[in-house]
DNA sequence: CTGGTCTCCTGATCGC
DNA sequence: TGCGATCAGGAGACCA
């Protein structure tokens, strides 16, 4: 997976939606029914604790900016250690997981009260399961450790259900943990996010993209990366989907025909599904809950291939910064052509 | 309101 | 062999 040619960009570091979904599927069975018995916080600043604020609970945040504005109605706390440990689910038993875009929510309950731990992996984050106590290598950047006991599930005859350990590590710290009080707060947090690019039914995803891109006065690549437009599309899959749909990344989003946008939605969804099936795509840092690497990097048609021949036509692939992201495309295959609608 | 730009942070890599 | 420069990028903060 080494990029040897001098012109080759580095492979991606970051986990995207398929990696997060793969992680969710692999870690959920480890967590369900298990209870957090101990927490070790090695870097508290990766944790943000949110509480529903007293006032203005339901002013629809649609008018505000960014995903953080969806957190209007939520208020950041500066917790003492005991509060932080409770917020990180100490004493809680895991009941489920959810995902929206690149965000993974771990749901747990204690004394009938549910709490939610939202995990965002950023570029270099890892959430991992360990059957035995993990060691902390100096450069591992493990920020939080959870110890879990086996819970009350019925074991195979005569055997005891083992406990385990979960760690959150993130060298670059673009990721983080958000602690929420309830499922309602999670819904609130996710309200400003667009529809999930993977699990939304095809027709709904296409309709949402037609509406959102139709009013976006910026490059389609920039719009795709905006989590309010559609949740879960990062740099890799934005480039891949635009290539598949024959759309130039600099094309003004609102100038795309609805048919072309529907084509884009179809390809985007198919590419994400394929990547999930392949076990997540990335690469150097991404590992699933078991510590295995994903296998999907071979699926990339353009990402990380700037200057190399287009796999469809052989022309050298273009590279430029668009929306502050390295963008790769084929100027022949993605040129506007009416016969592609 | 919108969209564009800066910033955070560390490790891998490359040129000298 | 070592060291500094460069690059990667999700998303919040900030600005025009």
Asked if residue A318 has pLDDT above 60, the reply is: yes
CA angle A136, A137, A142 (to 5 degrees): 50
Q: Show which positions of strand B are touched by protein (CB under 7 A).
A: 1-15
Note the pLDDT tens digit of each residue in A99-123. 999 999 999 999 999 999 999 999 9
Strand partners, A231: A196
Query: Quick one: CA dihedral A267, A268, A273, A275, positive or negative?
Result: positive
Per the model's pLDDT, the better-predicted residue between A207 and A55 turns out to be: A207
* CB distance A216 to A254 below 8 Å: yes
Q: Determine the nucleotide nearest to A215 by Cα–C1' distance.
A: B2
From CA A130, how far away is CA A109, in angstroms rounded?
22
Asked if residue A293 has pLDDT above 80, the reply is: no
Mean pLDDT of the residues in chain A = 86
Burial degree of A221 (CB within 10 A; 0-12, 13-18, 19+): buried
Give the contacts of A322 (CB within 8 A, at least 6 positions apart).
Answer: A219, A221, A222, A249, A250
| Mean pLDDT score, A132-143 | 89
Per the model's pLDDT, the better-predicted residue between A1 and A104 turns out to be: A104
Catalytically annotated residue among A16, A19, A103, A147 = A16
Q: Which of A92, A101, A60 is closest to A179 using CA atoms?
A: A92
Taking residue A238's Cβ as centre, other Cβ atoms within 10 Å add up to 25
DSSP A64-98: S-TTGGGGTTEEEE---HHHHHHHTTTT-EEEEEE
From CA A46, how far away is CA A55, in angstroms rounded?
27
Asked if residue A18 has pLDDT above 70, the reply is: yes
| Mean pLDDT score, A184-189 | 93
Strand C lies under 7 A from the Cβ of residue A30? no
Calculate the angstrom distance between C1' of C12 and CA of A259: 34
* Least confident residue range of A12-16, A281-285, A326-330: A281-285
| Mean pLDDT score, A196-212 | 97
Reported as a pLDDT band with limits 50, 70 and 90, residue A153 is low
User: What pLDDT is attached to residue A299?
Assistant: 77
- CA dihedral angle for residue A224, residue A24, residue A146, residue A190, rounded to 10 degrees: 40
Calculate the angstrom distance between C1' of C11 and CA of A336: 31
Calculate the angstrom distance between C1' of C5 and CA of A116: 42
Calculate the angstrom distance between C1' of B15 and CA of A306: 21
Instruction: Please tell me which residue lies nearest to nucleotide B9, judged from CA to C1'.
Output: A172
User: Residue A266 gets which letter from DSSP?
Assistant: H
Note the pLDDT tens digit of each residue in A33-72. 999 999 999 999 999 999 987 654 444 444 456 666 565 6
CA angle A80, A184, A229 (to 5 degrees): 105
Q: Where are the alpha helices (DSSP H) in chain A?
A: 17-31, 81-87, 183-190, 202-214, 220-225, 235-244, 258-277
A16 is catalytic: yes
- Residues 120-139 in A having a C-beta less than 7 A from any atom of strand C are 120, 122-124
Calculate the angstrom distance between C1' of B2 and CA of A190: 22
Q: Determine the nucleotide nearest to A68 by Cα–C1' distance.
A: C12
Q: Determine the nucleotide nearest to A171 by Cα–C1' distance.
A: B10
Give whole-number Cα distances, A221 to A189, A279, A280, in Å: 25, 25, 22
Note the pLDDT tens digit of each residue in A273-290. 999 988 765 443 444 555
Q: Copy the structure tokens of residue A332.
A: 């022949």
Residues, chain A = 341
Q: Show which positions of strand C are touched by protein (CB under 7 A).
A: 7-14
A21 is catalytic: no
A249 is catalytic: no
Catalytically annotated residue among A42, A218, A274, A325 = A325
A102 is catalytic: yes
Instruction: Please tell me which residue lies nearest to nucleotide B5, judged from CA to C1'.
Output: A324
Reported as a pLDDT band with limits 50, 70 and 90, residue A209 is very high
User: What pLDDT is attached to residue A11?
Assistant: 33
From CA A90, how far away is CA A74, in angstroms rounded?
22
Catalytically annotated residue among A24, A48, A71, A102 = A102
From CA A176, how far away is CA A46, in angstroms rounded?
5
Asked if residue A291 has pLDDT above 50, the reply is: yes
From CA A148, how far away is CA A88, in angstroms rounded?
12
């Amino acid at each position: 997976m080494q990029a040897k040619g001098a012109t080759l960009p580095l492979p991606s570091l970051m986990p995207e939606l398929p990696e997060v979904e793969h992680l969710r599927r692999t870690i959920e069975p480890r967590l369900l029914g298990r209870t957090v018995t101990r927490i070790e916080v090695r870097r508290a600043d990766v944790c943000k604790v949110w509480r529903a604020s007293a006032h203005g609970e339901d002013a629809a945040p649609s008018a505000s900016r960014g995903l953080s504005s969806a957190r209007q109605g939520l208020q950041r706390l500066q917790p003492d250690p005991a509060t932080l440990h409770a917020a990180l689910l100490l004493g809680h038993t895991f009941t489920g997981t959810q995902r929206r875009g690149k965000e993974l929510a771990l749901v747990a309950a204690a004394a009938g009260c549910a709490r939610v731990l939202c995990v965002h992996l950023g570029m270099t984050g890892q959430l991992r399961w360990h059957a035995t106590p993990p060691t902390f290598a100096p450069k591992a950047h493990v920020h939080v450790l959870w110890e879990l006991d086996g819970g009350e599930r019925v074991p195979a005859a005569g055997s005891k259900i083992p406990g385990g350990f979960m760690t959150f590590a993130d060298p670059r710290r673009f990721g983080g943990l958000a602690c929420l009080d309830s499922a309602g707060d999670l819904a609130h947090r996710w309200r400003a996010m667009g529809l999930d690019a993977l699990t939304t039914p095809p027709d709904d995803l296409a309709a949402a993209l037609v509406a959102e891109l139709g009013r976006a006065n910026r490059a389609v690549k920039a719009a795709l990366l905006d989590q309010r437009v559609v949740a879960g599309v990062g740099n890799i899959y934005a480039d891949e989907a635009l290539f598949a749909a024959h759309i130039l990344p600099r094309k003004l989003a609102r100038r795309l025909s609805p048919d072309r946008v529907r084509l884009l939605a179809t390809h985007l969804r198919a590419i994400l599904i394929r990547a999930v099936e392949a076990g997540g795509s990335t690469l150097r840092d991404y590992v699933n809950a078991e510590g295995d690497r994903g296998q999907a990097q071979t699926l990339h048609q353009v990402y990380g291939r700037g200057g190399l021949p287009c796999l469809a036509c052989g022309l050298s692939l273009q590279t430029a910064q668009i929306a502050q992201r390295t963008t790769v495309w084929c100027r022949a295959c993605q040129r506007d052509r009416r016969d592609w609608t």
